[in-house]
């Protein structure tokens, strides 16, 4: 039976690891908060105490962590995965949304150890992760991707191959930066509607069915209208800020214009500065209310 290691069991990673167990792979899991491993242990996963332990004997290593710092720790820390006894030529599938520069650096560190790196950030909500309906944005050598497909298929409804390592992350950062702009713009518009004394139920309906609607806009506008900032946390303000900052860093490195991206990132920075980073990203409506006060 093929041994798979899965590192990082947050909202997305837990569902993804469960899909791999259901697909019949021998899965070992690691998470910094160990209690999050319990359900997967009941499903048959081995629970590791460290990333180093998790990858022992693994032919494939998945990671789904929050940011560059967490990624550095699980790969290159004292008990990191790259210190483990993985199979020679094992596949690494990095599904985290990380900065483009760190992905390139990490891929080089992994290649030095004879591993094959696949850059595969995902799009989709936790329900899609649990149902195997994610979309994967892949950057990898084609032969590495072909070798990995049997492990990726249980996780997703589509694999989009953008090119070499780093290309998947570049695309993911572009669309997540666009998402930050859309959410900030929706919050700004809704705050203006409040100031104008408009019927907010009608505004919500019109915005969610008009030409400016998108899944990001609709989901967040509904939460803004109902003040659902702390319920059913899906994507926090801090996480949106992190992705937006990685996105503008990419743009700056490419010498590409990202005026709207910088402005949106600034709005989410103000949200975090106000102490609301742990709440849903829709809380950015309060930043816009302050701006228009």
d(CA 28, CA 63): 12
Would you say 77 and 109 are in contact if contact means Cβ atoms under 8 Å apart? Answer: no
Q: Determine phi and psi for 25, rounding to 5 degrees.
A: -85, 155
54 in Cβ contact with 81 (< 8 Å): yes
State how far the Cα of 54 lies from the Cα of 39, in Å rounded to an integer.
17
Q: Tell me if residue 172 is catalytic.
A: yes
Q: Which of 3, 36, 52, 172 is catalytic?
A: 172
Identify whether the C-beta of residue 280 lies closer than 8 Å to the C-beta of residue 230.
yes
Q: What is the 3-state secondary structure (H, E, C) of 213-269?
A: CCHHHHHHHHHHHCCCCCCCCCCEHHHHHHHHHHHHHHHHHHCCCCHHHHHHHHHHH
Degrees, nearest 5: CA angle 273-9-18: 145
Closest CA to 241 of 270, 220, 274: 270
Give the H/E segment covering residue 156.
strand 156-163
Q: Which are the catalytic amino acids?
A: 172
């Amino acid at each position: 039976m093929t041994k798979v290691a899965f590192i990082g069991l947050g909202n997305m990673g837990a569902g993804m690891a469960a899909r791999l167990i259901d697909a019949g792979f021998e899965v070992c899991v690691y998470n910094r908060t160990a209690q999050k491993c319990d359900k997967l242990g009941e499903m048959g996963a081995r629970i590791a105490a460290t990333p180093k332990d998790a990858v022992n004997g693994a032919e494939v290593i998945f990671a789904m962590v929050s940011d560059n710092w967490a990624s550095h720790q699980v790969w290159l820390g004292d008990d990191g995965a790259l210190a483990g006894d993985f199979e020679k030529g094992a596949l690494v599938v990095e599904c985290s949304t990380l900065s483009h520069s760190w992905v390139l650096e990490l891929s080089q560190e992994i290649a030095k150890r004879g591993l094959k790196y696949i850059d595969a950030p995902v799009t989709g909500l936790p329900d899609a992760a649990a149902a195997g309906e994610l979309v994967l944005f892949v950057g990898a050598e084609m032969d590495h991707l072909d070798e990995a497909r049997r492990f990726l298929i249980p996780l997703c409804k589509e694999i989009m191959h953008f090119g070499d390592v780093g290309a998947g992350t570049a695309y993911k950062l572009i669309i997540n930066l666009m998402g930050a702009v859309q959410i900030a713009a929706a919050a700004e518009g809704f705050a203006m509607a409040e100031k104008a004394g408009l019927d907010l139920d009608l505004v919500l309906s019109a915005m969610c069915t008009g030409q400016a609607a998108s899944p990001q806009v609709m989901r967040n506008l509904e939460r803004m209208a109902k003040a659902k900032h702390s319920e059913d946390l899906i994507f926090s303000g801090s996480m949106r800020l992190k992705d937006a900052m990685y996105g503008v860093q990419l743009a700056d490195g490419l010498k590409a214009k990202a005026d709207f991206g910088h402005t949106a990132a600034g709005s989410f920075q103000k949200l975090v500065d106000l102490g609301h980073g742990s709440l849903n990203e829709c809380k950015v409506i309060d930043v816009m209310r302050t701006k228009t006060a």
